[in-house]
Amino acid sequence: MSKKKFKTEVSQLLNLIIHSLYSHKEIFLRELISNASDALDKLKYLTLTEDAFKSLKFDPQITISFTAEGEKTLTITDTGIGMNAEDLDLQLGTIARSGTKNFLNNLSGDARKDASLIGQFGVGFYSAFMVADRIEVLTRKAGEDQAWLWESDGQNAYTVKEAQKDSFGTSITLHLNDEGAEYTSKWELESLIKKYSDHIAFPIFLEYDDTEYEGEGDDKKEKKVHKREQANKASALWKQPKSSLTDEEYNEFYKTISHDSEDPLLYLHTKAEGTLEYTTLFYVPKKAPFDMYQADYKPGVKLYVNRVFITDDEKELMPVYLRFLRGIIDSEDLPLNVSREILQQNRVLSSIRTASVKKVLAELKNLSENNPEKYNEFIEQYNRPLKEGLYSDYANRDTLLELVRFKSTEVEGYTSFAAYKERMKDDQKAIYYVTGDNEDTLRNSPLIEGYVKKGYEVLIMDDEVDEIVVPSIGKYKDTDLKSVNKSGTSDDLKTEKDKETEKKIKPVLKKIKDALGDRVKDVVLSSRLNDSPSCIVADENDPTVQMQQMLKAMGQSEIPEIVPILEVNADNEIVQKLADIKDEDLVKDISFMLLEQAMMVEGAELKQPAEFVKRLNRIMKMAL
C-alpha cells in the first residue's frame, strides 16, 4: 500500500470546492455520473474498434445503490474502462488539466464569485468530498487483471492498494457525512437523476432495499425486497426530435457535458439529412470558458459516430475562433475507427464543420437582430474570438463583419459597422477608428479632436487584437476603414484654409524639424487638432506606438525603432509664437516639449525623462 500526498493544486481545489459550492452540493452526482458515462463511452469505442477488446463482454450501464441504515453510503458503479494504479495517480491524485494553477491564482477569495468560476472550471470527481468524509474507488481497467482500491478523506493524502474485483469498471463509494445524508433516499436520487442525467446515453439503475407488505389485517407481513429500476431515459438527447425536448432538458444536458453549473446562453440543435446525415447540438456558455485564452485550451465539442463516442479532444472539429462552443457532432457517415490523422483531413467532417460554422454564425446574427440585449451579453464574452475570426476565416468574413462590435465616440456601449454607416455624415469619406490600449486615453486623445469636431464618429479600439485585425479588413462593404493613428488619414479633414495656412507656417515647421533632428520623421501641419498644440502619428506603413507596445509586451525583443511624425496645430498660441522666437536654446526646448507631451498623451515612453524634466524646469523658471 502506498500513501501519497495530493499535489498542492488538488488540496487547494478541494478546499475551495468544499467552501464555495456548498449551496449546490447536489451537483456531485451529476459529475460522478458524467464520469461514469465517459468511461462507458471510452470502452464502447474500444470494443468496436480494437481487436483485443472486440470479444470482451460489454454490458454498458451505471448502477447507483445506497445504504440508509447504519453508516450511510452511496455507491456509483459503472462497467466502463476503469483505471489502473498509474491512472489513479494521474487522474485522481493530480489535476491533469492544464491551466489549473493559473485558474486557482485568479480566484478572488470572494466565495460567490469563485463559485461561478469554479462552476465553469468543472470540478468533477472532487466535488464528491462536499458530501462524503471518505471516498473509496474500487476499479479495474478493461483488459487488465489487477484491481485497485483508491481511498481518501479528501484532506491532503490518498492511498492506493491492490484489491479484488470480478469485472472491469469502477465502483465509487461515498461514506456520506451530515451534508450527504439526504442522498440515501430513493426519491431524492431518482429526482436528481431525472433532473441532471436523464439523457445520459446509458441506462442508470437505482438499486435499493424496499419493504413490501403481504396479506391483510392481522396476517399482514413485512417483507424486505431488493429492487433495481431504471431511473433515466437513456436516450442520447441530441438524437431526439427538437419538438420533444424542453429548454430545461437542453440546459441540463449542457451541464452534464460541459461541467458548467449555469445554464447556457443559447443552444442550436440541427439535424441534416441528404447527401450527408448528421446531427449537431451546439451550446454557447454564458461565461467564456476559463481557458479560452490559453493556447492549450480544451476543446468543448465531442465527436460521435452514430451515437458512439469517438473523441472530445479534437481541436479541428471547429475553427479555433469558435473554441468557446460546447456540444456534440454526431455523424452517420464516418467509419468508427477513424484515426486522428484521418479525422483532420476527412472530407465528411470538413463539410460538417463548414456547414456548422455557417449555422452558428447565422444563429448569432439572428440573435443580434432579434434580441439585442442577449446579444450584448454574448459580445461581452466573445467579441474578441469573433474578431480573431475576421482575421482567420475569410470565407465568413462578411457575416463576421456584421457580428463584431466596437466602442465609439457617438454611442454608449457597443456599435456595429452597419450602425456606424447609417450615422455617417454626407461628406464623410471613411469609417474612422483609433487604436490603443486604454479606452480613456483614446477618448481624450488629440488624434481624434478634429474628427469629433466635424461630427465624424470615431470607433474606439482598445482591444489589443484590433490593431492586427482591423487593418487587415480594409473595408466594410465599400467604405474604407481608416486608422486615425496614421499620418495620411487626416488629409480627409483638410480644408482650403489649411492649404493656405500650410504655406504660411512652413518656416515654423522647418524650425521645429531642425531642432528635433532625427527624433521625428517629419513635422507637418495638423488638420485634426483643436486644443492640443501637437500630436504624433505613425507613417502610413509603420506600426503605431500601440502596436510597438504590444509587440514588446508579447516578448518580441527586436522591435525596429519607429520614428513618429509630429503634427502641430497652427491655431495654437505656442506654435504661433514660436515663429518669432530667435533664442535657439528656447526653440529647441519648446520643440522637444511639443514632441514629448504628444508622446506622453499617447502613452509612449519618454527616452530621457530626466532631460524632459530639465526642460520643463527651464521653461517654468522663465514663466516665473
Residue 202's Cβ-count burial label (10 Å; 0-12, 13-18, 19+) is buried
For residue 91, state whether it binds ligand ADP (rule: CB under 6 A): yes
For residue 125, state whether it binds ligand ADP (rule: CB under 6 A): yes
What is the rounded CA–CA span in Å between residue 165 and residue 150? 13
What is the rounded CA–CA span in Å between residue 189 and residue 324? 32
Residue in 33, 72, 80, 524 binding ligand ADP, rule: CB under 6 A: 80
Least distance to ligand ADP, CB of residue 91, Å: 3
Number of residues lying near ligand ADP (CB under 6 A):
17
Query: Which among 227, 146, 144 is positioned nearest to 189, based on CA atoms?
Result: 227
Sign of CA dihedral 543, 548, 550, 552: positive
Instruction: Please report which helix (H) or strand (E) contains residue 367, including its range.
Output: helix 347-370
For residue 300, state whether it binds ligand ADP (rule: CB under 6 A): no
In the beta sheet, which residues pair with residue 50? none
Residue in 11, 122, 383, 619 binding ligand ADP, rule: CB under 6 A: 122
Backbone φ and ψ for 560, nearest 5 degrees, come out as -60, 140
Least distance to ligand ADP, CB of residue 44, Å: 13
What string marks each residue from 213 to 252 as x (binds ligand ADP by CB under 6 A) or -? ----------------------------------------
Cβ closer to ligand ADP: 162 or 540? Answer: 162
Cβ closer to ligand ADP: 258 or 534? Answer: 258
Q: Where are the alpha helices (DSSP H) in 447-544?
A: 449-453, 466-473, 496-516
In the beta sheet, which residues pair with residue 430? 480
Strands (E) located in 200-298: 204-214, 221-230, 266-272, 278-284
Backbone φ and ψ for 227, nearest 5 degrees, come out as -120, 150
For residue 36, state whether it binds ligand ADP (rule: CB under 6 A): yes
Q: Cα torsion at 593, 597, 599, 603 (round to 10°)?
A: 150
Least distance to ligand ADP, CB of residue 139, Å: 7
Segment contacting ligand ADP by CB under 6 A, of 112-120, 123-131, 319-327, 455-463: 123-131
Segment contacting ligand ADP by CB under 6 A, of 31-39, 404-412, 489-497, 586-594: 31-39
Q: Which residue is nearest to ligand ADP (CB)?
A: 124
For residue 78, state whether it binds ligand ADP (rule: CB under 6 A): yes
For residue 143, state whether it binds ligand ADP (rule: CB under 6 A): no
What is the rounded CA–CA span in Å between residue 103 and residue 10? 12
Least distance to ligand ADP, CB of residue 220, Å: 43
Cβ neighbour number for residue 243 with a 10 Å cutoff: 5
Query: Which among 494, 500, 471 is positioned nearest to 567, based on CA atoms?
Result: 494
What is the rounded CA–CA span in Å between residue 336 and residue 11? 39
For residue 564, state whether it binds ligand ADP (rule: CB under 6 A): no
Least distance to ligand ADP, CB of residue 81, Å: 6
Residue in 170, 232, 415, 548 binding ligand ADP, rule: CB under 6 A: 170
Least distance to ligand ADP, CB of residue 92, Å: 6
Segment contacting ligand ADP by CB under 6 A, of 80-88, 283-291, 444-452, 562-570: 80-88
Segment contacting ligand ADP by CB under 6 A, of 79-87, 149-157, 382-390, 488-496: 79-87
Q: Is 532:538 a contact under the CB 8 Å cutoff? A: no
Cβ closer to ligand ADP: 30 or 407? Answer: 30
The one-letter code for the residue type at 256 is: T
Binding site for ligand ADP (CB under 6 A): 31, 35-36, 39, 78, 80-83, 91-92, 122, 124-126, 170, 259
